[in-house]
A and B are shown apart, each in its own frame.
Chain A
Amino acid sequence: MSIHSLPGLDDITRRVLPNGIIILTRPNPGSLSVVISGYVMAGAIFEPDDKLGLAGFTALALMRGSREHNFQQIYDALEANGASLGLDGGTHSVGFYGHALAEDLELLTKTLAEALRQPVFPPEQVERLRDQLLTGLAIRAQDTSEMASLAFDEMVYAGHPYSRPEDGYPDTIRAITRDDLVTFQQRYFGPRGMVISIVGGVEPEKVIDTVVRSLGDWENPAQPQPLGLPALKPLGAMVTRQVNISGKSEADIIMGVAGPPRRSADFLAASVGNNILGQFGLGGRIGTSVRERSGLAYHASSSLSGGIGPGPWLFLAGVDPNNLDKTIALMRQEISGFVTEPVTGEELADSQANYVGRLPLSLESNAGVAAALLNLERYELGLDYYLRYADLVNAITADEILETAQRYLNPDCLAIAVAGTFASSG
């Protein structure tokens, strides 16, 4: 294999098992290790409002004991071999990620299968985990960035599943019973829609055999179809929220709107535009204005999430509370310029070159390739996507970025969440 080759039709193996599991693999012959990454369609979207955090709680509890092994035995097998495996809940799916020496791939697939198929949710482990989750939420309540993010989601995604935090609230975590975990696992965890990406020093046929042995006969007739997302009501005006947290030196600003989903035709133009606005160099135009010219913040940037649904398009900064209004004004000014004038030819060429040039770097490690393969499947990009990528990026025009930005961004119609210690409310 040429080292200059990008993953494509000739070196990605994609296999669909009869039970619906999709396996993606690409060998990395020189590698001593292997990465397994993927997801099961059992996300927080299925949770009732009074049990928020249920999918994440279930995901973490899966490895706390199975019909064959207890918690210590499960982790002893992994850690004694220098391997690692974990599951975590997301909005649409529960994700998993693990790595091991290449010789220990089967340890990963067997442990994963045991967690997904045979969890027993030992009561004492469930309660221990609950205490850990509640402590995590207590720590979250002190985190200015996290609390601004929660407030932002509540404003932008009112009435939409994206308004709900995946890790829930203390009350909802306390309300979840062991039976809820059992029921959630039995009903929502199943092979349909499951994708597994395996990359490293293991040949494709061996990868597929290994997965088939552990998960090939998994069935769950009760597993429901994925839930669609309701329409999102756009922001009609500027909305703001301030979260006061005592004893903080710095305030976090999170402002923005709902952006295009990853599969949207708008996404790539929005993404390249966002790079110009708040990423390129030291935070794009936002970083230049807020950090470089004004010295107001150590971090100031923007981000575009994409995802299955309308993920957020965010503008972020951490500043002295006294500089809050000034920073927000500067960021709005940059947004205003971005939706009024096309980006310059130089800015566009820079970001296009950045996108094309950085692709091989993101594919350097097994973990990077595994994540890239998952994206191909999750967003239906096609196995030849990375080979077409440079052409797609280079075809984007300044007018296209402007038109796309105008569809999503309006400097007078944003959600602005700030969290920190504010004299006026403290």
Chain B
Amino acid sequence: MDEALTKLTLHNGLLVLLKEIHTSPIISQWIWYRVGSRDEVPGMTGSSHWVEHMLFKGTRQFPTGAIDRAINRDGGYLNAFTFLDWTSFFETVPADKIDLPLRMEADRMFNSLFDPDEVTSERTVVISERQGSENEPLFRLSEEVQSAAFRVHPYHHEIIGDLTDLYTIQREDLYRHYRTFYLPNNAVLSIAGDFDTQTMLDRIRELYEPLPAGSQPPRLARAEPPQSGERRVSVEGPGETVYLQVSYREPSADEPDFFALNVLDSLLTGPTNLNMFGGGITNKTSRLYKALVEKELAVSINGGVQATIDPYLYTMMITVHPKHTASDCIEAIEAEIKQLQDAPPANEELERAMKQARAIFAYGSESISNQAYWMGFSEMFATVDWFTTYLEQLSTVTPADVQRLAQTCLRPQNRTLGVYLPNGAAQ
């Protein structure tokens, strides 16, 4: 598990991270672009995600559909993700088939066609994707909470974008977005698996060094002012079930307090599993499970931190028990938080959180895709050292740190509450 990691920057600014892992005959390649929904102005919301879709719609070398078919033919799988801060594409393939994904990613960084007919066809696909999400009460609730929590910062809008923009964004808008952000000097290439580093590096240089650097794209920098009071939203919709979302403004991932928040999260709602591939653990002995589910105020509670560039949201999602209300749950949550604000947790609780984190890391390290994911992911908001020293940093968190975080981060004035209320329209 201690395979050496190679990190270097090509002349055109492309950051390359390589890690040899010889446990399976597999290689996973990820390419990350520093562009996400936070880089979109009103009228263009959803464009990062739509551009991600368009990168599957062909280049001259790899026409529409050819990429998926070619990777599948080799036994590999691929996907892409758009997030608040980044967009990433990955392919995991048998080790002897890695050349195709290497060529393909280098090609579509510059040569994606954005054929107008394909843009038209994809518009309805993206709208369908959004409509599928709208079917889910939790999507509708979290979209409202997100927009209430961020008045100024572009974290304000959902990654998939607003429907009105999805109807009006044009091909030229998307293509401009692509050409602005899809540059070697705005990208990170992370590859893990069964390869020889020097051979892999030679091939990467061959494919990527001819690509020119561009002007470093500016990122939208509209800092959210400090929150000065609790915000509340409600969403009405069909069904019988009440959901409560409690979201606190959290530290950004590169702040030391982010690690203390992870420990706090472990204690309150069970540890967040930041792995893309690899299992997590249940949370039935967490403080809030005991206070809400065991007391039958809620049917379930889950919590999670998000590793982001700017402060985002530490979110708890609660399915309210049919015999209780969201207010009952809020009261119980506040009582539990107050205990942590009044007294630091015992050392044993921190040791337990550490073992949980160590186990989750072990589960994640089984997957080569997950290891390649982590290298690039951590570069999106910090550096790869963030990942390699994660457990070490977590172990420096003290009970006093956790108490301080509970006092500062988990104040009512720092949160947005959202409630999904069934409107009785169900059959």
Residues of A within 8 A of B (CB): 3-4, 30-33, 71-72, 75-76, 78-84, 86, 99-101, 128, 131-132, 134-135, 138-139, 141-144, 244-250, 280-282, 288, 291-299, 318-320, 350, 353-361, 363-367
Contact = CB atoms under 8 A, between A and B. Distances in A.
6 contacts: A131-B299, A245-B426, A249-B131, A250-B132, A361-B94, A364-B26
A144 B132 CA distance: 9
B73 A353 contact: yes
A282 B56 contact: yes
Given A84-B279, A139-B241, 17 more contacts: A75-B285, A79-B282, A80-B285, A83-B281, A99-B279, A132-B299, A139-B319, A249-B132, A281-B65, A295-B122, A295-B124, A296-B125, A350-B69, A350-B72, A354-B75, A357-B97, A360-B25
Contacts, number: 213
B240 interface: yes
A80 B239 contact: no
A144 B135 contact: yes
Contacts of B111: none
A357 B1 contact: no
B43 interface: no
Given A72-B290, A250-B131, A131 B321 contact: yes
Contacts of B241: 135, 138-139, 142
B299 A135 contact: yes
Interface stretch (B82-90, B220-228, B246-254, B356-364): B356-364
Contacts of A31: 362, 366
Contacts of A244: 427
Nearest to A299: B132
A291 B286 CA distance: 43
Given A81-B359, A249-B134, A298-B132, A354 B72 contact: yes
B65 A280 contact: no
Interface in B5-47: 22-26
Nearest to A293: B121
A288 B68 CA distance: 11
A141 B135 CA distance: 12
A319 B131 CA distance: 8
A414 to B, nearest CB: 22
A172 B134 CA distance: 30
A3 B23 contact: yes
Closest 4 pairs between A and B when the two form their complex, measured CB to CB: A357-B75, A82-B359, A295-B121, A298-B129
B297 to A, nearest CB: 11
B217 interface: no
Contacts of A83: 281, 359
A246 B319 CA distance: 20
Contacts of B284: 71-72, 75, 79
Given A79-B270, A361-B26, A361-B76, A297 B128 contact: yes
Contacts of B125: 291, 295-298
A273 to B, nearest CB: 15
Nearest to A63: B284
Contact of B427 (A82, A245, A355): A245
Given A82-B281, A84-B282, A250-B131, A360 B94 contact: yes
Nearest to B238: A247
A366 B358 CA distance: 17
B77 interface: yes
B229 interface: no
A341 B307 CA distance: 51
Nearest to B71: A281
A358 to B, nearest CB: 4
B426 A246 contact: yes
Given A3-B194, A292-B64, A367-B279, A361 B355 contact: no
A123 B357 CA distance: 34
Interface string B282-301: 11111000100110100110
Contacts of B205: none
A357 B26 contact: no
Contacts of B131: 249-250, 318, 320
Nearest to B194: A3
Nearest to B296: A128
Interface in B55-83: 56, 64-65, 68-69, 72-77
Contacts of B369: 364
A360 B427 contact: no
A356 B293 CA distance: 46
B240 A138 contact: yes
B126 interface: yes
Contacts of A355: 75
A356 to B, nearest CB: 7
A72 B134 CA distance: 37
Contacts of B73: 350, 353-354, 357
B135 A3 contact: no
Given A84-B280, A297-B128, A360-B24, A33 B121 contact: no
Contacts of A288: 65
Given A353-B75, A357-B97, A101 B366 contact: no
B365 interface: yes
Given A295-B124, A358-B77, A360-B94, A246 B285 contact: no
A4 B194 CA distance: 11
Contacts of B128: 250, 296-298, 318-320
Nearest to A73: B285
B415 interface: no
Given A142-B239, A366-B366, A82 B360 contact: yes
A299 B290 CA distance: 38
B120 interface: yes
Interface in B292-338: 293-294, 296, 299-300, 319, 321-323
B137 interface: yes
A319 B127 CA distance: 10
A79 B92 CA distance: 31
Nearest to B239: A142
Contacts of B346: none
Contacts of B356: 79-80, 82
